[in-house]
């Protein structure tokens, strides 16, 4: 399988791309929040998180297709979309609602954000896969390993050369 494009970027370039992207994403989020009125239910943060999740799905499909430039993932994923989405503000909003005695609203906001973000990333991924079909190598890998079902064990797909180290301990994946 070909080397992942992000692996071809230097760590310094990836860090610089993530930093620049993070600045741009955070500025975009701040501008959107400044332009929209504040309400008891922060629709702007909800919309930002759902839109960012959809865009992350599109980006991951592009990266998985093998056609994205080496710095696309650190710049757009970690940087722009990481700076744009704001799950910390969402968490603070939920706690504030509970503290203000609006537990039902907090629960609704909590559920709506998580479900919206999950559905958005799935939709974004599916849309991205239509725009950027996987390469022939990716398709062969997909057929070999049973479509989207990743199987670990027996003589199926092996990760990390059959061993991956976690803090000095070895765990085995595969057979």
| Digitized pLDDT (tens) for each residue of the chain, 175 residues in all | 445 555 578 999 999 999 999 999 999 999 999 999 877 778 999 999 999 999 999 999 999 999 999 999 999 999 999 999 998 888 999 999 999 999 999 999 999 999 999 999 999 999 999 999 886 555 555 554 445 444 434 444 444 444 444 444 444 444 4
Q: Within this chain, do residues 80 and 143 fall inside the same structural domain, yes or no?
A: no
In a domain, 157, yes or no: yes
State whether 102 and 67 are in the same domain: yes
* Residues 66, 104 within the same domain: yes
Helices 103-131/87-99 angle, 10° precision: 160
In sequence order, which residues have a C-beta less than 8 Å from that of residue 151 and are 6 or more positions away?
145, 157
**Residues annotated in a binding site for Na(+):** 82, 85
Domain count, the chain: 2
Q: Are 86 and 29 in contact (CB under 8 A)?
A: yes
Q: Are residues 153 and 121 in the same domain?
A: no
Domain of 70, in residue numbers: 10-128
C-alpha distances in angstroms, 117 versus 108, 122, 165? 14, 9, 32
Feature table: binding site: 82, 85
Distance separating alpha carbons of residues 165 and 171, to the nearest angstrom: 7
Q: How many helices (H) and strands (E) does the chain have?
A: 7, 2
């Amino acid at each position: 399988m070909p080397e992942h494009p992000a692996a071809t970027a230097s760590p310094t370039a990836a860090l610089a791309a993530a930093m620049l992207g993070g600045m741009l994403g955070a500025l975009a989020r701040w501008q959107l929040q400044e332009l929209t009125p504040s309400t008891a239910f922060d629709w702007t943060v909800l919309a930002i998180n759902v839109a960012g999740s959809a865009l992350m799905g599109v980006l991951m499909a592009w990266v998985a297709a093998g056609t994205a430039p080496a710095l696309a993932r650190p710049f757009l994923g970690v940087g722009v979309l990481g700076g744009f989405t704001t799950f910390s503000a969402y968490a603070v909003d939920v706690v504030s609602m509970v503290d203000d005695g609006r537990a039902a609203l907090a629960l609704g906001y909590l559920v709506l954000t998580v479900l919206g973000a999950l559905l958005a990333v799935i939709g974004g991924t599916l849309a991205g896969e239509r725009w950027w079909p996987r390469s022939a190598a990716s398709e062969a890998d997909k057929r070999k390993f049973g479509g989207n079902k990743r199987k670990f064990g027996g003589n199926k797909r092996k990760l990390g050369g059959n061993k991956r180290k976690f803090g000095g301990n070895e765990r085995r994946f595969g057979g």
